[in-house]
A and B are shown apart, each in its own frame.
Chain A
């Protein structure tokens, strides 16, 4: 059993209670894309950047790809979620899916949630590309971000 603690340090006593992030002028940013595309180069279909003096939480994201029509020559269809951290200067890809099939309605999916905190200047991208010849692939990208004011 612990002893009761009384905070008498003025520096601690002067601390201001901080609201939860979702109570600090929250702005929901919701992105959704669902379209079938012919072969194409890598495209940033969705981009989100955290504004200055703001923070953000990615609360969920998902990536799905489905072959809709057969290709003359199937290539690699890929869809990914990437994150650029302003403090590290590095872009990485927490979510990635690749298919190399000509089977109609073949599907691959990656789902993530609570990716975590983004600081001012951070970015996320939902991207897709297809190196096939002919045919179409549906790319379905979804992202929810809650943006909030700084402390």
Chain B
């Protein structure tokens, strides 16, 4: 699923622009320089089912000329659940993956 996630980093080798998520591919940025957010492709297996089926969390956005369904908002309770599941699935990196969907 495509998710709009707040960018972190400063664009250097030591601190590259990225999103704090374990596995993703950047599809596009938001057009700002430097980018404020990235559109990233995240495997559905890494998204809690409660988020995948919840209504009203997505928007239709044109990305690279194609209208795409994008996850753009997650309620705080579901976001906390998402963080907890990542901490369990990636125990060696617990506390590191704190992406912000926006």
Contact = CB atoms under 8 A, between A and B. Distances in A.
Nearest to A33: B25
Interface residues on B, range: 20 to 34
B16 A43 contact: yes
B86 to A, nearest CB: 10
B88 A52 contact: yes
Interface in A69-88: 86
Contact of B18 (A44, A86, A121, A129): A44
Contact of A52 (B23, B24, B43, B89): B89
A45 interface: yes
Contacts, number: 71
A110 interface: no
Contact of B26 (A46, A48, A123): A46
Contacts of A86: 92
A49 B16 contact: no
Contacts of A43: 11, 16-18, 26
A43 B92 CA distance: 23
Given A29-B23, A31-B25, A47-B22, A42 B90 contact: no
A49 B12 contact: no
Contact of A41 (B23, B34, B88, B89): B34
B54 interface: no
Contacts of B12: 41-42
A122 B91 CA distance: 12
Interface in B15-35: 16-18, 21-26, 28, 33-34
Contacts of B13: 42, 129
Contacts of B81: none
Contacts of A136: none
Q: Which 8 A-B pairs have the closest CB atoms?
A: A41-B11, A121-B92, A49-B22, A44-B18, A42-B16, A43-B17, A52-B91, A44-B16
Interface of B: 9-13, 16-18, 21-26, 28, 33-34, 43, 45, 64, 88-93
